[in-house]
């Protein structure tokens, strides 16, 4: 029988470019679901954060931050700033490119992640935030 289960968890971030490994949160959710075969997803509610996969090691996290800074620099004009009087236009654009969530296959009750692949929350806003992460699994 197909089941769908949803859970929400809050994760505090330290502001722009804080990267949090949330793999364990997703693994625990999957393990507690009883689902053996299906799909698990993690989604961040908000337009200035993202969830992606990466090899979560300090050098690569640093490289990702540098790449995002080069692609979406702080010191250029963002029309968004005129609308709201804030400074996070780049945060919205970065989040749109990285996306708000990922879906991971589940087989034999386990996430089918690669050996060096973790699920991470990437804070892109210019200030610390408390993020709501929606975890969901569908399967049997």
Please write the tens of the pLDDT for every residue from 27-68: 999 999 999 999 999 999 999 999 999 999 999 999 999 999
Q: Give the domain CATH number at 17.
A: 2.60.120.460
Assigned domain for 75 exists: yes
Assigned domain for 114 exists: yes
* pLDDT tens per residue across span 9-28: 999 999 999 999 999 999 99
Assigned domain for 1 exists: no
Residue 86 has pLDDT above 90, yes or no: no
CB < 8 Å & 24+ apart, contacts of 57-61: 61/19
Q: What is the pLDDT of residue 25?
A: 98
* pLDDT tens per residue across span 118-136: 999 999 999 999 999 999 9
Domain that holds residue 130: 7-139
Per the structure, the count of domains in the chain is: 1
Q: What is the pLDDT of residue 81?
A: 77
Assigned domain for 2 exists: no
Assigned domain for 29 exists: yes
């Amino acid at each position: 029988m197909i089941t769908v289960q949803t859970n929400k968890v809050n994760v505090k971030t330290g502001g722009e470019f804080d990267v949090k490994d949330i793999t364990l949160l997703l693994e625990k959710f999957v393990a507690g679901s009883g689902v053996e075969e299906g799909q698990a997803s993690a989604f961040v509610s908000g337009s200035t954060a993202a969830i992606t996969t990466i090899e979560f090691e300090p050098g690569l996290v640093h490289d990702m931050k540098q790449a995002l800074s080069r692609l979406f620099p702080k010191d250029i004009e963002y029309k968004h700033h005129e609308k709201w009087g804030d400074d996070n236009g780049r945060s919205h654009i970065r989040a749109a490119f990285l996306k708000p969530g990922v879906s991971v296959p589940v087989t034999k009750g386990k996430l089918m992640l690669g050996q060096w692949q973790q699920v991470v929350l990437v804070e892109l806003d210019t200030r610390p935030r408390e993020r709501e992460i929606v975890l969901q699994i569908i399967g049997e």
